Amino acid sequence: MQLDQEEQAMLAGEMGEVAQIALQHQIAVGDFFGARDFVPITQAHVMADTESLGQAGVMWLEKLCDVKDGRHQVRVPTITDPRGTDFAHAGMLGQDEWMLELERRAIAAFVKLGVSMTDTCINYQTVLAATRGEHVAFGDTGVVIYSNSVSGARSNYEGGPSALSAGLTGRTPRYGFHLDAQRQATLRVQVDWTPRTLNEWGALGGVIGRLAGNYWHVPVIEGIDTAPSSDELKHFGAAMASFGSVAMFHMVGITPEASRLTDTGGDKLAPQRVGRGDIDALTRSYHVSKEVDVVVFSAPQLSLYELRSLAALCDDRRFKVPMLAVTSPQVKPDADRFGYTGRIEAAGGTVLAGMCFYQSYAREIAEAKGWKRLATNSAKLVNILGGYGYVPMLASMEECIRAAETGELK
């Protein structure tokens, strides 16, 4: 890779051992992907849960903090994805003390490195949304696809060490979605029905994700008859990324780089059609049981407006099975202040903050609590949780709340 003067100084160790380690890692990544040079970034977003980090990852963070020269601070604003627990509710989740101690160690190391513990996968709704053309280094798949597609920013999926290295050096290898050519459409999808609920938007994202099935594919979607909300685009993109490893999409007339189909090169592609039947078929494939052990709203974390809708559905109900609603530390205080948390918990639900359900030792939670059959309105979550031993079921928010009240999903 071609290095500028500052990067050569980093590589020589003139700017500290940690910057040197980080740049060495980034050069290896850049060489693997054929990057010619680095691009400066303005912010980074790092996976922070210890289920992802593991003991070795936490030890690596601690080692970075212990360098003799003491120079180990990030150079650009660097924030974190959800943690592996909500410490206030760890006992209710059945999490063991060793999990919490590993979390505490990880947090202490991140803080020493100058990382801001935002603990969120919805930073584009809460902390600082990246803007069109802004080069960033984000790790969470839902964050990357939203930032690339809806915000028009530029990021690849950055693994944990790569995202942290970007924060420590202020740059990332220039390949993939940092390049204009990679952002052109490779798959043209015409839809004949526009979803109305979050689970339907997620299911549509899942269908298109399966069609793409490739990180380098960029779908361009035609036929959406109304501008989706931020929450709808959030569920749509997160599911597409989960089902297909997709990092970017265009929506004609809606997303910033697709005012017209021709802007994306999609006019040169033969269209594939997706209808309501495809969306319903994906949903039905997860309706395998009527009985429900737990209801979870997570992945992505809930916005304030999602919690408002949830609170309205909880009024005058009493839940038969546990209901968990997971949000960000930025949203939770407002939910408390507006009374949404109180209304949800009055029905028997629990509002969790700073974590994500599937990143929080979900298998161990299932074993500790006896949970297997799980209902959710997140298509991303149902796609993931089968691997953790659950029988996940996809339904609307209203259907999930009725299931929490009755113990059955109709």
SS3 sequence, the chain? CCCCHHHHHHHCCCCCHHHHHHHHHHHHHHHHHCCCCEEECCCEEECCCHHHHHHHHHHHHHHHHCCCCCCCCCCCCEEECCECCCHHHHHHHCCCHHHHHHHHHHHHHHHHCCCECCCCCCHHHHCCCCCCCCECEECCHHHHHHHHHHHCCECCCCCHHHHHHHHHHCEEECCHHHCCHHHCCCEEEEECCCCCCHHHHHHHHHHHHHHHCCCCCCEEEECCCCCCCHHHHHHHHHHHHHHHCCCCCEECCCCCCCCCHHHHCHHHCCEEEECHHHHHHHHHCCCCCCECCEEEEEEEEECHHHHHHHHHHHCCCCCCCCEEEEECCCCHHHHHHCCHHHHHHHCCEEEEECECHHHCCHHHHHHHHCCCEEEECCHHHHHHHHHHCCEEEECCHHHHHHHHHHCECC
Give the model confidence (pLDDT) of 376-394 as tens digits.
999 999 999 999 999 999 9
Let me know whether 273 and 297 are in one domain: no
Let me know whether 159 and 55 are in one domain: yes
Let me know whether 201 and 149 are in one domain: no
Let me know whether 252 and 290 are in one domain: no
Let me know whether 227 and 106 are in one domain: no
Task: Show which of 283, 300, 321 is a domain's final residue.
Answer: 283
Let me know whether 301 and 352 are in one domain: yes
The domain that contains 37 carries what CATH number? Answer: 3.30.499.10
Q: What pLDDT score does 159 carry?
A: 93
> Over the chain, what is the mean pLDDT?
96
Let me know whether 51 and 71 are in one domain: yes
Q: What pLDDT score does 287 carry?
A: 85
Q: What pLDDT score does 107 carry?
A: 97
Let me know whether 76 and 134 are in one domain: yes
The count of structural domains within the chain is 3
Percent of the chain with pLDDT over 90: 96
Let me know whether 198 and 133 are in one domain: no
Let me know whether 31 and 80 are in one domain: yes
Give the model confidence (pLDDT) of 287-302 as tens digits.
888 999 999 999 999 9
Task: Show which of 267, 283, 299 is a domain's final residue.
Answer: 283
Task: Show which of 159, 178, 197 is a domain's final residue.
Answer: 178
Domain assignment of residue 394, given as a range: 286-406
Q: What pLDDT score does 50 carry?
A: 93
Let me know whether 23 and 126 are in one domain: yes
Let me know whether 247 and 302 are in one domain: no
